[in-house]
Amino acid sequence: MTAPEQDAPPLTDVEIWPLLGVRVRSGDLELRAPDDRTLLDLARLAARGVHPPDYMPFLVPWTRGTPVQVARSVMTYQWGLRQRTTPADWAIELAVLHDGVPVGTQGMYAKDFAVTRSAETGSWLGLEHHHKGIGTRMRLLILHLLFEGLGAEHATTSAFVDNPGSSGVTRKIGYRPNGVLHQAREGGAVESRLYVLDRADWDARRDDLRLDVEMEGVEALRDQLGLSAAS
Ligand SMILES: CC(C)(COP(=O)(O)OP(=O)(O)OC[C@H]1O[C@@H](n2cnc3c(N)ncnc32)[C@H](O)[C@@H]1OP(=O)(O)O)[C@@H](O)C(=O)NCCC(=O)NCCS
């Protein structure tokens, strides 16, 4: 190990944790890594409801329980994700800010991405923000980060067959069907539909799909994820 240089300036936040510098923005919508203050806001939002109570869109039913239980599960889950930011395995959930207010999360997940160039996405919005087009726009922002920023070749997603919001976003963007899984949801069998969007589909739909997107901090993130030429 090399001795620290006496006169070297202190490491910046982004040198230590590049993800903190990432911004993906289009108009009034922005994706950025949540700090603890933002996580608390997301926890309060989730405690007010993420979906109607008679429906469960998630395999792990983290939205059941008292408001405080739901809020704490947002905190512990998000803290746990922070250690999955390595080239071999990343699970990155960015906060979705609408006019600067946290309205949900948009995640991307991959194992061995440098080899497979394939990542899965997943998301939620506070119930009060559903059905206003935000879900489609935030998916397009993460797809922009994956395809344009990180060099993805494939983006995958899945939803239970009875999830109209998630399926609606996937249909509008033009993913292809990619199989089904039979899973257990709260003790009952449910079909999960899998979808894929390849780079060729993304490129072909360039004009229809692409929002006017600004990205910041992506080169440093590529380095953190082992994707830059030097790493
Ligand atoms: C999935 C989710 C993020 C979608 O976000 P959203 O902002 O509500 O979606 P959008 O407004 O962009 O809608 C996309 C399409 O789906 C349709 N849609 C959305 N919600 C719908 C609903 N409840 N019923 C029927 N159609 C719906 C919209 O009409 C739209 O299609 P259109 O433009 O042709 O009308 C949001 O519904 C959500 O957070 N759900 C709970 C968590 C969840 O299901 N996460 C995904 C787990 S796989």
Asked if residue 52 has its Cβ within 6 Å of ligand 1, the reply is no
Asked if residue 172 has its Cβ within 6 Å of ligand 1, the reply is yes
Give the distance (Å) from ligand 1 centre to CA of residue 56.
Answer: 14
- Asked whether residue 146 is domain-assigned, the answer is yes
Asked if residue 166 has its Cβ within 6 Å of ligand 1, the reply is yes
Give the distance (Å) from ligand 1 centre to CA of residue 165.
Answer: 2
Q: Is 153 exposed, middle or buried (0-12, 13-18, 19+ CB in 10 A)?
A: middle
Q: Of 166, 177, 92, 155, nearest to 125 (Cα)?
A: 166
Q: Which domain holds residue 147?
A: 13-152+213-224
CATH number, domain containing residue 98: 3.40.630.30
Ligand 1 atom closest to residue 137's alpha carbon, by position in its atom list: 12
Question: What are the helix (H) ranges across 117-181?
Answer: 134-144, 164-173
Give the distance (Å) from ligand 1 centre to CA of residue 169.
Answer: 6
User: Distances from the Cα of 164 to the Cαs of 15, 51, 170, 171, in angstroms?
Assistant: 41, 11, 10, 10
- Asked whether residue 220 is domain-assigned, the answer is yes
- Asked whether residue 131 is domain-assigned, the answer is yes
- Asked whether residue 49 is domain-assigned, the answer is yes
Give the distance (Å) from ligand 1 centre to CA of residue 16.
Answer: 36
- Asked whether residue 197 is domain-assigned, the answer is no
Asked if residue 49 has its Cβ within 6 Å of ligand 1, the reply is no
Ligand 1 atom closest to residue 125's alpha carbon, by position in its atom list: 39
- Asked whether residue 230 is domain-assigned, the answer is no
Total tally of structural domains belonging to the chain: 1
HSE-up of residue 165 (Cα within 13 Å, Cβ side)? 23
- Asked whether residue 188 is domain-assigned, the answer is no
pLDDT per residue as tens, the chain (231 positions): 566 667 899 999 999 999 999 999 999 999 999 999 999 999 999 999 999 999 999 999 999 999 999 999 999 999 999 999 999 999 999 999 999 999 999 999 999 999 999 999 999 999 999 999 999 999 999 999 999 999 999 999 999 999 999 999 999 999 999 999 999 999 999 999 999 999 999 999 877 777 899 999 999 999 999 998 655
- Asked whether residue 19 is domain-assigned, the answer is yes
Asked if residue 135 has its Cβ within 6 Å of ligand 1, the reply is yes
Q: Whose C-alpha lies nearest to ligand 1, atom 27?
A: 165
pTM: 0.96
